[in-house]
Amino acid sequence: GNSVTQMEGPVTLSEEAFLTINCTYTATGYPSLFWYVQYPGEGLQLLLKATKADDKGSNKGFEATYRKETTSFHLEKGSVQVSDSAVYFCALSINTNAGKSTFGDGTTLTVKP
Amino acid sequence: NAGVTQTPKFQVLKTGQSMTLQCAQDMNHEYMSWYRQDPGMGLRLIHYSVGAGITDQGEVPNGYNVSRSTTEDFPLRLLSAAPSQTSVYFCASSYGRRIYNEQFFGPGTRLTVL
């Protein structure tokens, strides 16, 4: 079946530190990949996405590259801010699953000043 | 556009009570879905719909019913609430079933069943 595995949290960083949140996937086909962010008390919102191998999604200083050979979509940011504190979800969507999304368990990031 | 709206924001029920969680979107999206979010378990799909009059089960459908009489609305019914249904519920929508279309989420309903 399809699954998404994220690095376990919580992750605590100091402001301006480098961030990596690992995400690997298993899929019976060729998925689209997404990172969603959930700020406290809110619903999820799209952070970035990539729809084919070697595509790089980017937004708000965050980046992730679709690596088909390693089935990975790691999220990175060069310098985090306190306002980046949130829960981050990796997800995939695939035709063989009627377009339904499969989500990872989420990684909680806390950035301290 | 209001996007995806959900009501109520908070609800407390007693075991055995029934209720309906409301979800509406004003983006003319074909695809709508309901998820529940539990600590350490990510999001799990309850039911989804690919258009008015068409619904299907997701990963954890037991104890929940849905219907889709219009494009805009996708209510979730709890038939007889149980403590195991204590969770945060999110409604989401997307434009069509293309796998590259992202989902838009509502703000969530926090449900407690005593």
Average pLDDT per block of 10 residues along chain A, 113 residues long: 88 97 92 94 93 95 97 97 96 72 92 96
Contact A99 B99 (CB under 8 A): yes
Do A42 and B42 make contact, defined as CB atoms within 8 angstroms? Answer: no
3-class secondary structure, A84: helix
Q: For A24-80, give the DSSP string.
A: EEE-SS--EEEEEEE-TTS-EEEEEEE-STT-EEEETTEEEE-BTTTTB--EEESS-
Task: Count A/B contacts: CB-CB distance under 8 Å.
Answer: 58
- CA of A109 vs chain B CAs: smallest distance (Å): 14
For residue A53, list chain B residues with Cβ-Cβ distance below 8 A. Answer: none
Contact by Cβ (8 Å): B71, B51: yes
- Which of B56, B101, B106 is nearest residue A43 as measured by Cβ atoms? B106
CB distance B100–A100 less than 8 Å? no
B102 touches chain A (CB under 8 A): yes
The minimal CB distance from A89 to the residues B42, B48, B92 is found for B42
Return the amino acid letter for A13: L
Share of chain B above pLDDT 70, in %: 96
User: Sign of dihedral through CA atoms B10, B15, B17, B21?
Assistant: positive
Q: Determine how β-strand B10-13 pairs with β-strand B64-66.
A: unpaired
The token duo for A97 is 């699953």
- Whether residue B12 lies within 8 A of chain A, CB to CB, comes out as no
Length of chain A: 113
Instruction: Report the C-alpha gap between B97 and A95 in whole angstroms.
Output: 9
CA distance B82 to A110: 33
Say yes or no: B106 contacts chain A, CB-CB below 8 A.
yes
3-state SS of B37-100? ECCCCCEEEEEEEEECCEEEECCCCCCEEECCCCCCECCEEECCCCHHHCEEEEEEEECCCCCC
pLDDT tens digits, one per residue of B54-74: 999 998 999 999 999 999 999
Report the C-alpha gap between B96 and A66 in whole angstroms. Answer: 23
Q: Which of A38, A89, A100 to mutate to test the interface with B (most CBs of B within 10 A)?
A: A100
**Using one digit for the tens of pLDDT, what is the confidence trace for B80-114?**
999 999 999 999 998 876 666 788 999 999 999 99
**Amino acid B101: pLDDT:** 78
- pLDDT for residue A4: 94
Q: Does A17 touch chain B (CB under 8 A)?
A: no
Q: What is the pLDDT of residue B80?
A: 96
**Which residue of B43, B102, B107 is in closest CB contact with A103?**
B43
Residues A37/A45, Cβ–Cβ less than 8 Å: yes
